[in-house]
Structure 1
Amino acid sequence: MRPVTVVLLLRARPGSEDRLRTALEGMIEPSLDEPGCLAYQPYVDPNRPDRMAVYEEWRDEEALREHWRTPYFRHVAAVLPGILAEPMVLRRLVPADEGG
């Protein structure tokens, strides 16, 4: 069982930057409280405040799937389409020595 690392890349619609930041920041505490969450941290591009990323690390695939089933995740997932300028991108990462 290996940890799962994901990075979400998001771009807010013009004028929705604060709403996106608030939604992502609201996910920090409940995500970190989940037993399978090893890391959860949103980031903002200081030169492009409409561009944000979230770094997440989970104990395993099942922990990530459990996260996706939580009420707060489902709530944010339902609000994002009205905030984002384009669909978010989810990238799964592996250590460089394991990558192709």
Structure 2
Amino acid sequence: MSNTLTIVAGFIAKPGQEQRLRDELNAMIAPSLAEEGCLGYQPYADPTRADRMIIVEEWADSAALDFHFSLPHFKHIAQVLDEILAEPFTLRRLTDVPA
């Protein structure tokens, strides 16, 4: 059985902060994918709501995700999100369904 962890993080930008949200989330892709335990990291925009985005992330295990939360690029985005989000971001942790 796999310990792979899938994360779905949801974001709603304050009015006027939509492009900054996109830019900041896109800037997280390369440093996150460079992390040893990161298997996937992709932001998605809602085509009908410019203020809404999600990131779908895949991590080798919860230790890899915890390490991600400790790194400078995560701490930077967390600080920025405090300024530009209309409400706190949501975080869903998902695991594979056993066959």
Unaligned ranges ≥5, structure 2: none
Moved over 2 A (4+): none
Q: TM-score, normalization: structure 2?
A: 0.94
Unaligned ranges ≥5, structure 1: none
Q: Which residue of 2 aligns with 1:78?
A: 79
Pairs within 5 Å for 1:58-69: 58-69=59-70
SS at match of 1:35: coil
Equivalenced residues, count: 97
Provide the alpha-carbon RMSD of the alignment.
Answer: 1.0
1:50 partner amino acid = D
8 Å Cα contact 2:39/2:60 also seen in 1: yes
8 Å Cα contact 2:4/2:95 also seen in 1: no
Matched, 1:21 2:18: no
Q: Which residue of 1 aligns with 2:10?
A: 9
Q: Compute the displacement of 1:61 (Å).
A: 0.6
Q: Which residue of 2 aligns with 1:40?
A: 41
Cα distance between partner residues in 2 of 1:80 and 1:19: 10
Q: Compute the displacement of 1:93 (Å).
A: 1.4
Cα distance between partner residues in 2 of 1:93 and 1:61: 11
Matched, 1:57 2:58: yes
Cα distance between partner residues in 1 of 2:82 and 2:72: 17
1:74 partner amino acid = K
